[in-house]
Amino acid sequence: MIRGLGRIRNLPVRRLARCVSTETATSATKHLVPIQTQLRGEAILNNPRLNKGAAFTREERAIFGLEGFLPYDVHTIEQQVQRVLSQIDKQNTPLLKHAFLASLRDQNQVLFFRVMQAHLKDFLGILYTPTAGEAIQMYSRLFRRAAGCFVSFPNADGMRAQLEAHVEALDNKPDVNDAAPGPIDLVVVTDSESILGIGDQGVGGITISTSKAALYTLGAGLNPNRMLPVVLDVGTDRYELFSDDLYMGWKHTRVRGEPYNRFVDKFIKNCSELFPGALIHFEDFGPNNAYRLLDKYREKVPVFNDDIQGTGAVALAALISAGQITKTKLSEQRIVLYGCGSAGLGIVNQIRDGMILADGVSKAHANRQFWCVDRNGLLVQSMGQNLRPGQLEYARPDHEVYDWPHEVEEQEALRLIDVIRAVKPTVLIGTSTHARGFNEQIVREMAKYVDRPIIFPLSNPTSLCELDPLDGMHWTDFRALIATGSPFPPVMMPDGRMLKTAEANNALCFPALGLGTIISRSRTMSPGMIMAGVHALAQLSPVHDSPDAPGSLLPDLTDVRRVSVKVAAAVLQKAIEEGHARKEFDFKSEADVEEYIKTRMWDPVYRPIEPADEEVSRVGW
C-alpha cells in the first residue's frame, strides 16, 4: 500500500485536492485527483463525464445538491455493473445491445467503459464489428442523439468554427491524463467510403469513428474526453441512402478529385492548428484515397491508418512469433496473399518493412517474397492499369509465371491453388472475405511442402473467414500455425491439450501505437516506431513461455491493457531515439517508462468531484 493512502481515503472531498494534484499523481494515486466543476444538481447528472448515478457519495450529494435527484442508497460501481449486465441480457438482438451500450455511454461514461473493459471479448463484437456495421446501415432510422463531429462539404467555410465548438463543449483543461499540448489528443476521422466491408455508408460512418475512438480508451487508456470522432460528409454514391427521406447526410453524389482534396487539406490544416500534437487516425477511407492520403500527410502531421498500418502491425507480430517457432527469418518467408484490398496490401507492406528493418534486405528483395492473388487471379505486370494503387510493385513479371500449370486449363489467370503449387509458400494470408476460401485442397497442398505451415485467415466477421482453425489443424496433421481475424473456439490437440487460436485483432496493437505516439508528442508515427511496437507485441506471445507446448501466437485480448503498456513504452522510446519526440524525457529505467505511461492512462474509475472556485484552478477532464 502507498504510504499515507489510507489516510487520504478518509479525507473530505475538499481536502483531497491538497493531497493529490495533477502534478504529484502517480499511477496508484491518479484516481484520487479531484475533478472540479461549477455544475450542480440535475446538470451534473446530465453530464456523462461527471455522472456517477447511484455511486455519488453522501458528501458529494450534499455538496452538489443531488439529494432528491437520486434514490437514497449509495451503490458501488460493481453493483452498477451488475445492473447494466442484467439490462443488456434483456436486449433480444445484437443491434439492441449496441443501442443500449451507446445510450449508456451518453449517460455515464465511466460506467460504460467499466462494463466494456470487464467484458471486452463478450461485447467487442457488439460495440464494433460486426454489429456496428448493422447500426451504421440503419443510422438515419435509429438516430436519437448526435455523437461526434459532422463536417459536411456544403458547410466547408464554417469548418474551423465547427471544430472549435466541439472543443469548447468538451471544456478540456489541464488534467492528470494530458498528453498533447492542445485540447485534443486524437482525431478519428472517416469519409465513410469503405466501411467494414459494407462499402459507402455516408453520414452513418460517424458510428465507426465513435466506436474506434472507444477502442483507444478500452485498449490503451486514451482519455475519451480528449478524442474527437469525425465524419467527413462528402456525399454518398449509395442511391438507397440519398433517396431515403430519412437519410440525415448531404444528399449528393460523392465529391471526388480536386474539390475533395481541397476539403481534406482544409480539415487537416485546421486540425493541426487547433489540436497541435494530436494524432489523426484515418478510418475506412476508400482504397484510392487511403494510401494516397497517408503518404501525403505522414511527413507533415502525426497520421495513422488502421486499415493499412494497424492490420499489418498485428499480422506482422503474429508472423514474428511464428518465426520464433519455425526458426526462420522474415526475409526467408515465401508469402502468398489472398485478397489485395487496403487491408491485404497494408499487411504485406508492413511485413516488407519488417524484412527491411529487421534483416537488412533491400526493398526490391523484400517485394520478391510476395505473391498476391486477387479476384482476377495472381497480380502480374501485364494487368497494367487494371491494377489498383499499391498493387503494381507486387505484380510478378509475366515471363516468370507463363509456364505455371493451371488447375483449370481454359482459365488464363492463375488462381490460388495454382500459385500454392508453384510457389510452395511458407505463409498464406487471407484478407479476401471469401468464406472458407482456404479449402481442404489448398491447405493440404501447402502442407505438402512445409513442415509448419503459417496460415492467417484474417477476414472478418467469422462468417467470411477463409478457414476454420479446426479444419486447418486437421488438414495439416496439427502442424499449422494459425492466427485468425475473428474469434474461434480452442482446438483440442491429439494429446488432449487445448490450443487457443491467436486472434489477430487490431485492438491488440493500434491503441498502444497511438498512445506511445501521443505521449511522446511525436512529429510522426514512423515505420521504426511501428516496428518497435510490433516487436514488443510479438515478445508478449504465449509461445515464449513454453515454445514446445501449444500456445497462441498472440496475447489474449483480455490482457490488452498490460500489453498496451509494453507496446506504448517501445513506441515512446523509439520516438525519442529517432528524434521525433517533441518533449524531453529523463527515464532511468524501463520501469520508469512504464510508470510514466500508466500515470497517463485513463481508467474507468469514479474520481472525487469538488466545486470549482478561485482557490484551486483545475477544472474537469
Active-site residue numbers? 128, 212
Angle, nearest 10°, between helix axes 206-220 and 560-577?
A: 90
Tell me how far apart the alpha carbons of residues 151 and 189 are, in angstroms, rounded to a whole number.
10
Is 603 annotated among the ligand-binding residues?
no
Q: Which residues contact 124 (CB under 8 A, 6 or more apart)?
A: 505, 507, 557
Is 451 annotated among the ligand-binding residues?
no
Which residue shows C-alpha cell 491429439?
494
DSSP characters over 557-575: GGGHHHHHHHHHHHHHHHH
Q: Which residues contact 27 (CB under 8 A, 6 or more apart)?
A: 595, 598, 599, 601
- 221 has which bridge partners? none
Q: Which triple of cell numbers denotes residue 428?
A: 498464406
Is 505 annotated among the ligand-binding residues?
yes
Q: Which triple of cell numbers denotes residue 16?
A: 483531497
Contact 386/375 with Cβ under 8 angstroms? no
| Number of CB atoms found within 10 A of residue 521's CB | 20
Helix (H) or strand (E) holding 592: helix 590-599
DSSP characters over 78-122: HHHHHHHHHHHHT--SHHHHHHHHHHHHHH-HHHHHHHHHHTHHH
State the first-to-last Cα distance of the chain, in angstroms, to the nearest integer: 27
Contact 336/306 with Cβ under 8 angstroms? no
Q: Which triple of cell numbers denotes residue 203?
A: 453520414
Which residue shows C-alpha cell 500454392?
420
Burial of 204 per CB tally in 10 Å (0-12, 13-18, 19+)? buried
Among 225, 230, 106, smallest CA distance to 174 is for: 225
Tell me how far apart the alpha carbons of residues 277 and 275 are, in angstroms, rounded to a whole number.
6
Tell me how far apart the alpha carbons of residues 16 and 18 are, in angstroms, rounded to a whole number.
5
Tell me how far apart the alpha carbons of residues 129 and 283 are, in angstroms, rounded to a whole number.
14
Among 591, 526, 521, 565, smallest CA distance to 220 is for: 565
Tell me how far apart the alpha carbons of residues 126 and 25 are, in angstroms, rounded to a whole number.
35
Binding site, annotated residues: 283-284, 307, 460, 505
| Binding-site annotation: residue ranges for (S)-malate | 460, 505
